[in-house]
Structure 1
Amino acid sequence: VSELDADGDGNVDMFEMKADIRSWFGTRHKPVRALIIVDVQNDFIDGTLALRHCPAGQDGADVVPKINALMEAVAFDVVAVSLDWHPQEHCSFHESVTAGLSPSPIHPTQPKIEDVPNMAVFSPVLLTAPDGTPMPQTLWPRHCVNDGWGSETHPGLKIGSHNADFVVKKGMNPAIDSYSAFFDNSKFQQTTMLSELRKRDVTHTYIVGIAYDVCVAFTALHAAEEGFVTTVLEDACAGVTHEGIAEQSRIMKDAGITIANCDQLPSLIANQSGSGEQIATAKMVKLARASTLSIEKQAAQIKASYRKFDSVNAVVNNAVVPVMEMVSKGSVKSVKAVTGSA
């Protein structure tokens, strides 16, 4: 019973029961396997946010032949593609924020607000979430602007946005970023990913793409939270920083997500059946949700502090800045964890 009770409150609610039924019974009786290709788009490969120019120096182009070979080797039941799909001015864009054009204004607890116009690319900043609370954001170069060349899937990808089973566009709300293919960063809204997977009775998700330590990791963690048997194929991914890659690998493993290479997948699929996997899946859902709930408690304390104290300095020194630093370093899995939004 403890494995059914994901949040550990002593009760198995309807949400937990549905997730467990999907994962336990689905994995045993009728596994449906979905490949999720995350953000293999021109701007992340040859454009404004090309990964080879990021600190890890990994080339996003290298994932394309890996993903193509994977689709030839494994007959996935479903292939889904996610796309970053931003408006011209977006709260995640360095150009928008530093020019004072961010749809989400700078939060009053941002240290040295006067220095924001001179911030460098990749700097962390505190913006104002739709509910008025502090919202940590990394400043990325303008990328994947909707309907532009940079937002298109790489032309070498055999299954892209033109012929996938379905396509999910994210980051369309100018006021909040969306790393995960399931939800925006504060879980104010969800994409169509979950409903499309449920519609097709998917039980297993295999996640590849860009960037490993950002959108791939957030997507994998949300897939695990929703009860899918989740595997990340790390050699079909590319990341931003070595530190972020290592940290997100640890977080995903702690959540029960399998990290594997593409050549391991056929044997992994052969072993992903039976009662052993049912128990493992139940534990994965519990671990993924427990880790989120743990950070949500910290977020609740932050929001309580913010509302309790009139002094900006008290909030900045005691709560906001440390969390902003954790997000910047990749040690917080989701901006939802910081805002505590449901």
Structure 2
Amino acid sequence: MNLTHSPGDRRSALLVIDMQYDFMPGGALAVADGDALVPLINRLGRQFARVIVTQDWHPAGHISFADSHPGHVPFQTITLPYGPQTLWPVHCVQGSDGAQLHEALELPHAQLILRKGCNPAIDSYSAFLEADRTTRTGLSGYLREHGIETLYVVGLALDFCVAWSAQDAAREGFNTYVIEDACRAIDLNGSLQAAWQAMGELGVQRIQSQQLQHA
């Protein structure tokens, strides 16, 4: 595969999604094997001149929490004013230990840490748009102002925040690659297969980390 821009090209960036303790084994919304990604993401990060990190950052009582909806339990789907919403266990509450980035994540040259899900009334999987699909995070403008044209996306969880971010990146016109072995999925009711299909339809490329070794 010919990559649009190699990792060392300043027109490309590594987008690291939600490598936080609540998504690690033992966390409130654990993704199996999530902590195993840290060494690989650190190695990938050293290949990139530009790195951006996202951090789920919910206020207490967030609308996406099952506890905020009496009579409901985690992983149910309800309809909110902006559309369907999967209800989650309480996770990544602002300032909590579970919301912190994994301490072994070594990306000292990351230029931006983007916090999302801060609006108490709207969830936000994507690094570009909140779940109402109109409220922007500002990431698209940041990338354009810095001359970035190609994104390589890694992190957690593949079938939710990674997939939504990758799809929105493609919609915004960025060349978008998801590094499959640098992600892990929740796979809730077929969500992983659906995510790959949706990403593919938008032209998101599925690659492995070894394809970047000699890029």
TM-score over 0.5 for the alignment?
Answer: yes
**Aligned residue for 1:36?**
15
Letter in 1 for 2:210: D
Runs of 5+ unmatched residues, structure 1: 1-25, 52-57, 99-116, 130-134, 271-342
1:71–1:262 distance in 2 versus 1, CA, 3 Å: same
| 2:45 matches 1:71 | yes
Shift of residue 43, structure 1, vs aligned partner: 0.5
Shift of residue 66, structure 1, vs aligned partner: 1.4
Shift of residue 251, structure 1, vs aligned partner: 1.7
Q: Residue 262 of structure 1: which of 203, 209, 212 is its match?
A: 209
| 2:184 matches 1:238 | yes
The alignment partner of 1:87 has SS state of coil
1:95-244 correspondence runs (5 A)? 95-98=67-70, 117=71, 119-129=72-82, 135-159=83-107, 164-241=110-187, 243-244=190-191
The alignment partner of 1:240 has SS state of coil
Shift of residue 254, structure 1, vs aligned partner: 2.1
Shift of residue 192, structure 1, vs aligned partner: 2.4
- In 2: Cα distance, 1:77 partner to 1:229 partner: 17
| 2:37 matches 1:84 | no
> How many pairs does the alignment contain?
207
Shift of residue 222, structure 1, vs aligned partner: 0.6
Whether the aligned pair in 1 keeps the contact of 2:77 and 2:85 (CA below 8 Å) is yes
**Aligned residue for 1:105?**
none
The alignment partner of 2:62 has SS state of coil
Shift of residue 235, structure 1, vs aligned partner: 0.5
| Residue-by-residue CA offset, 1:283-321 (whole Å, 9 max, x unaligned) | xxxxxxxxxxxxxxxxxxxxxxxxxxxxxxxxxxxxxxx
Shift of residue 31, structure 1, vs aligned partner: 5.9
- In 2: Cα distance, 1:65 partner to 1:200 partner: 27
Specify which structure has the higher proportion of helix.
1
| 2:33 matches 1:59 | yes
The alignment partner of 1:82 has SS state of strand
Specify which structure has the higher proportion of strand.
2
- In 2: Cα distance, 1:159 partner to 1:144 partner: 20
User: Identity of counterpart residues, as a percentage?
Assistant: 40
